[in-house]
Chain A
Amino acid sequence: MEEAPEKIEIRQRFPSWKEMLKPVKKFEEGRVSYLSLPKQVDSEFFKMPFGDVERSLDDLKLPDNWKEIFLDAMKETLEKNRAFKLFMDICVRCGACADKCHYYIGTGDPKNMPVARAELIRSIYRRYFTPAGKIFGELAGARELTEDVIRELYYYAYQCSLCRRCSLFCPYGIDTAEIVWWLRRMLSRIGLNQRFSTISIEASARTGNHLGLLPGGMAGAIQQGLEELKDITGFDLHTYINKKGADVLFVAPSADYFATPHWFVMLGYLLLFNELEEKYGITITWSTYASEGGNFGTFHSYEAAQLLNSKIYKEAERLGVSFIIGGECGHMWRDKHQFINTMNLPPKHEEWKRFWEDPDLGEIAEGLRGIRFDSYASGEHGWIHILEFVAALIEHKKIEIDKSRNDHWVATYHDPCNVARGMGLIEEPRYVLRNVMNKFYEMPEHTIREKTYCCGAGGGMLADEIMDLRMRGVMPRMMAARHVFKKYGVNILLTPCAIDKAQFPTALEYWKIPIEVGGPMEMVGNALVLTAFGEKPEDRQYDLRGDPIREGSGGE
């Protein structure tokens, strides 16, 4: 892992507009993503144009007619995506978005202002697609497409985490994520892909998940979770995998099978599923084929996103489930909320159709009658967020909660960008947290909910080689975390996002804020009383991390 420098200096520069049109030639260390290798983009299951060549930024090895290909791809994009076309045309450069970007705040690089990031490609658009740009050239803010410009486009397209914070503040709703996403798609047509995200895309296209876990590995990981839970709770728990005829398919980001602190969330899922099955008879299955909720394709292009998320509805159909529950993940929920049922045909099998005609959980398990999803979901989509699900269980008093088991935690909640701004899941996690723990505090108002700051690692920015960028991008969030740490003594930062959970431990260490990271489902798992197994609220001695819950308790 590359280390970020000990000391960060934020040098703000304000060059002239002319200089802004010139491509940057010197790239900062720790901010350039590696280009993909042939094994990632020329693989059997993920074959990208001109992926068979090993490239570096110094030697792009572009195909002969790269300019034509790139401009064709741009023309296609303008026809295929109104948002992109419109955002090329209507920006007035008012500057409202400029200081909304965490990467701009952290780096001070003027081209990291969302508007400037968009101008990089807008200047090409003007030159080749508008009369003003063709006639007046530079004066109209247009510039020639050269190899240096391509290099610069790559550099800055992969310094955006697609978090859409700028879009929220833009008076026209110009969404830099949309521009950058489609720009990355254009770059992929001339053979330029980012290594970090394509490693995962390729693995997911081949094995079903980003980590490249084979069925046995995944089953083994879950099994280990059950063993840990046996140590913690003393009960023999179980779960299903690839089970036909189960009621629900559960899809989590694959990091939950291995990584820490994702792991504790995984244990939380397993506790909940066991309690529900034992008490109400609802069966929830995992799948090895649809073993990835996350979708790094959404960092790359429409088609790559579709390639990865196409498996899940197919698996729901094969297993004959009634609906799908999705786990804790950020960009997964932009994909699953906004993309999946457009990119794919929703399932049409009997069980699915029957359930969604009258989507009351009572149709699956009598004891759960009254929990309905038809106020916002239908069989044309069929996904429920795990925290919505838990919120409903709590509201309808279907599970027993002992809040005091979380008394050793003082928590704050980070809204993942895609969940907040691409879905609107804001109150449900808070509802759950207030119900499963006593000490929960919010970070400052302008850093949470829809205004949440990105963790600085989304959108494919979790790569180790851009550690400098990551540690700078996470700064606003870290300052907010430090604020609640000092003010309320917060000791855990909860977030329902796998990338956050990977980024924050490194970031908190870097910014020297001594707090832990976890997910809301971990807190649910701690507080959940397994009444169906005969557990009493005071029985549990250890939390899911294996630490004693009460002072003086559990000590051997």
Chain B
Amino acid sequence: MIGILFGVIVPYIAVAIFVLGVIYRIVNWANSAVPLKIPTTGGQQKSLPFIKRTIYDRFDSPYTWWETAGRMLLEIFFFRSLLKNTRYYLDRVSQKDARWLWLFGILFHYSLLLVLIRHSRFFLQPVPSFVEMLSDIEAFKGVFIPQVYISGLAIVAALFLLWFRRIFLSRERTLSLPSDHFALILLLAITISGNLIRYFFKANLELVKELLANLMIFNISKAAAIADQIEPIFYVHFLLACFLLAYFPFSKLMHAGGVFFTPTRNMPNDNRARRHVNPWDPEPTAPIFTKGITVAGRTFKSKKLDWDTYYEMYRDQLDEIAEGDYMIVPEEL
């Protein structure tokens, strides 16, 4: 019975929430308009031919599609903006490195990537050779018995380091909401329990793989039967992971998807070459305020200062300028 609940029902629900939730969030973002082209330019713009741009300028102030894609890739794979981090000290003019956050972040995310790749062996039959190879490499195959996967330990270390930042640094402590601690604790619980069932309280991983294989082909009765045979300790790890999946779309963890949508990073700095059209004001023949905005049933309309209105208002002075043939010369003394 426990097997059916924890091994079949919960994961199905969790995956469903995860998939639908992520799709919902992404569609939701995508449906929101982008009124302006607002890249944050972190380097020299493309301008006159003799103004030289370095390779960094091309990525930090991208002009073409490719440069923009390069900027996004650097951001996603190397956390380039974080790498620029500096810390301000009141008593000095020089800058000091403060790239620990970058280091911890990279350590965590790449460990996570390796861990996820290693977990793909539970879902794929046969196990792809690159998964085997990566696992062998990171375990320094043959050095330790049983094999110790570095990424599994590194991810725990990285999570602790990230958490210590939030606990011991005063600024970060002030900024951290309960949800920030919660996400870290949840991930810590998952990774620690994962390590425990690998090295200390061994679960029958062959059965786990069989369970997942049956879940994936919706062979529910078989899956339920297998689920009952797996050791309870496995379910600690498994349920936490399911919870994480369900929690993911509604939390800040969605930054993983959101980073692709950031208008300050994913738009090229080519405003002067190509016009960006605002979807909710595509043909701006007159300013919105002069057409009027409606708030709480009342319409507020500003008068339009077009040239004719302007001329009517300041006719004398404008005519005087016209009399001088629109030329200003120093007054004769």
Contact = CB atoms under 8 A, between A and B. Distances in A.
Contacts of A378: 272-274
B296 A376 contact: no
Contact of B41 (A132, A392, A421): A421
A427 interface: yes
A80 B32 contact: yes
B302 A168 contact: no
A20 B79 CA distance: 28
Contacts of B87: 99
Nearest to B329: A238
13 contacts: A17-B175, A46-B289, A81-B32, A90-B255, A215-B317, A219-B321, A237-B329, A302-B288, A342-B276, A377-B273, A424-B44, A425-B45, A426-B43
Is chain B's binding surface mostly helix, strand, loop or mixed?
A: loop
A525 interface: no
B45 A424 contact: yes
Given A139-B178, A167-B264, A310-B287, A214 B317 contact: yes
Given A171-B81, A216-B320, A377-B272, A303 B289 contact: yes
A375 B64 CA distance: 12
B179 interface: yes
Interface in B308-333: 310, 314, 317-318, 320-322, 326-331
Contacts of A169: 81-82, 84-85
B232 to A, nearest CB: 30
Given A174-B262, A451-B84, 7 more contacts: A17-B176, A49-B298, A178-B264, A241-B328, A303-B287, A426-B43, A449-B43
Contacts, number: 372
A20 B46 contact: no
B330 A230 contact: yes
A79 B32 contact: yes
A552 interface: no
Contact of B101 (A89, A94, A175, A239): A94
A216 B317 CA distance: 5
B81 A173 contact: yes
Interface residues of A, number: 139
A16 B174 contact: yes
Interface of A: 10, 14-17, 20, 44-51, 63, 65, 68-69, 73, 78-83, 85-86, 89-96, 98-100, 105, 110, 113, 115-116, 119, 130-132, 139-141, 164, 167-175, 178, 189, 205-208, 214-216, 219, 222-223, 226-227, 229-230, 236-244, 285, 288-289, 302-304, 306-307, 310-311, 314-315, 318, 337-339, 341-346, 373, 375-378, 380-381, 383, 388, 391-392, 395, 420-428, 431, 444-446, 449-451, 476, 479-480, 483
A391 B326 contact: no
B327 A242 contact: no
Contacts of A110: 171, 174
B144 interface: no
B255 A172 contact: yes
A424 B88 contact: no
Interface string B63-91: 10000000000010001011011111010
A173 B82 contact: no
A189 B251 CA distance: 30
Nearest to B82: A171
A241 B321 contact: yes
Nearest to B173: A14
A423 B284 CA distance: 23
Nearest to B290: A307
Contacts of A483: 93
B302 A170 contact: no
B305 A45 contact: yes
A116 B61 contact: no
Contacts of B60: 450
B35 A302 contact: yes
B21 to A, nearest CB: 10
Chain B interface bracket (under 10, 10 to 19, 20 to 34, 35 or more): 35 or more
Contact of A80 (B259, B280, B317): B280
A243 B289 CA distance: 29
B136 interface: no
A63 B296 contact: yes
Given A79-B33, A216-B320, A168 B331 contact: no
A414 B175 CA distance: 31
Given A10-B90, A450-B60, A69 B175 contact: no
A172 B43 CA distance: 17
A76 to B, nearest CB: 10
A446 B328 contact: no
Nearest to B81: A171
Interface stretch (B48-56, B112-120, B125-133, B212-220): B48-56
Contacts of A338: 36-38, 271
Given A47-B301, A172-B255, A216-B317, A95 B29 contact: no
A445 B95 CA distance: 8
B38 A178 contact: yes
A96 B82 contact: yes
A376 B88 contact: no
B302 to A, nearest CB: 5
B35 A242 contact: no
Most chain A CB neighbours (cut-off 10 Å) among B94, B254, B288, B330: B330
Given A47-B300, A141-B179, A303-B287, A424 B326 contact: no
A81 B44 contact: no
A313 B250 CA distance: 45
Most chain B CB neighbours (cut-off 10 Å) among A10, A86, A205, A311: A86
A444 B93 contact: yes
Contacts of B31: 79
Contacts of A95: 101, 165, 169, 171-172, 175
B255 A92 contact: yes
Given A164-B40, A172-B262, A92 B252 contact: yes
B145 interface: no
Contacts of B63: 376
A222 B321 CA distance: 12
A391 B51 CA distance: 9
A44 B302 contact: yes
A306 B284 contact: yes
A126 to B, nearest CB: 9
Nearest to A395: B50
Contact of A83 (B34, B53, B275): B34
B281 A242 contact: no
Contacts of A48: 300
A442 B232 CA distance: 65
Nearest to B276: A342
Contact of B171 (A82, A98, A208, A289): A98
Interface in B221-266: 250-252, 254-255, 258-259, 261-265
